[in-house]
Amino acid sequence: MRNCLPLLPGLLIVLLLAPSCVVSPATGERQLVLISSDQEIAMGREASPELEQQLGGLVQDEYVQSYVASVGRRVAEQSERRMPYEFAVVASPVPNALALPGGKIYITAGLLRAMESECELAAVLGHEVGHVADRHNVQGLQRQMGVQLVAELAAAAVGADGGTAARVGTQIVGGMFNLKYSREDEYQADELGVRYMARAGYNPYGMVALLETLQEASGGGEAPGWTEILQTHPLTSNRIEEARRNVRRQHPNASPAGCTVADDAFSRMQQRLGPQPAQEGRAP
């Protein structure tokens, strides 16, 4: 079990910040988080316009947005952490998915085109919900940008005016694009994603199918356009096997059959997105 106290050098600092050691509702582990949930939500709200702009803007198709959001909500309702989860599709052809602090979750058109079924979509959205539920993105930003800076940005995000909001949003988005989740975070988000998608009625083997689909589509990391998602979400054969062991352990009666079969709603969504552009852009 992780403990937040060893992260803080010095008895005085520990005593001052110990009240900020919180218990994750998803895992029961103690965490060092120096911002409130309200501040976390404000950070995501201020960062979302900048993130959407850098990822090509929202896809202007009501069916695509509604379909993905409905799958996301179905999965997010199973999370132990009650946050205002929102789901949106951005136009970038570069395969990726991102969860901002506070529960705003984005998936790119490029990643949707690479998937094979709604079950896989539920898996990736469940994985991103897991990052929010266990505060991986907030803790990652604290490690990367420094605890003090993240706390200052969070405080500034609450009630920020136009200029302050833009500055805060730019800094948070910059941190998110450079954020690299640890192997432990990725395994934990996979495990939580399996939990949430199974509770929502999806086949938990969808997580294994998703990871195998991404490994094949990315050519083991060699295919153009896959650099960013593999930097932020490391994908290895060990991770796939760990996901498979997790499913077998939690759901021994589940079967992988049917996980890669696209239903009519999923196929229609992909058709409305259209084919992947011939020349993939680089990640912003």
pLDDT digits (tens, 9 = 90+) for 203-247: 999 999 999 998 888 776 556 566 666 666 666 788 899 999 999
pTM score, two decimals?
Answer: 0.85
- Kindly tell me if the per-residue pLDDT of 93 is higher than 60: yes
pLDDT digits 0-9 by tens, 153-212:
777 777 666 566 667 667 777 777 777 788 899 999 999 999 999 999 999 999 999 999
Question: What rounded mean pLDDT belongs to the chain?
Answer: 83
CA pair distance 194, 203, nearest whole angstrom: 9
- Kindly tell me if the per-residue pLDDT of 3 is higher than 80: no
**What is the model's pLDDT at position 268?**
97
**What is the model's pLDDT at position 4?**
56
Radius of gyration of the chain (CA): 18
Name the helix (H) or strand (E) containing 23: strand 21-23
- Kindly tell me if the per-residue pLDDT of 56 is higher than 90: yes
User: Pick from 157, 25, 121: which is nearest to 82 by CA?
Assistant: 25
Highest average pLDDT, of 9-18, 135-144, 175-184, 220-229, comes from 135-144
Percent of the chain with pLDDT over 90: 53
Percent of the chain with pLDDT over 70: 80
Higher-pLDDT residue of 136, 143? 136
- Kindly tell me if the per-residue pLDDT of 255 is higher than 80: yes
B/e letters for 136-147, b = 16+ CB within 10 Å, e = fewer, are bbbbbbbeebeb
Average confidence (pLDDT) over 135-145: 83
User: Which of 3-12, 55-64, 156-165, 223-232 bottoms out in mean pLDDT, i.e. has the lowest?
Assistant: 3-12
Highest average pLDDT, of 134-138, 160-164, 199-203, 275-279, comes from 199-203
Contacts of 71 (CB under 8 A, 6+ apart): 87, 118, 121, 122, 125
- Kindly tell me if the per-residue pLDDT of 2 is higher than 60: no
**What is the model's pLDDT at position 164?**
66
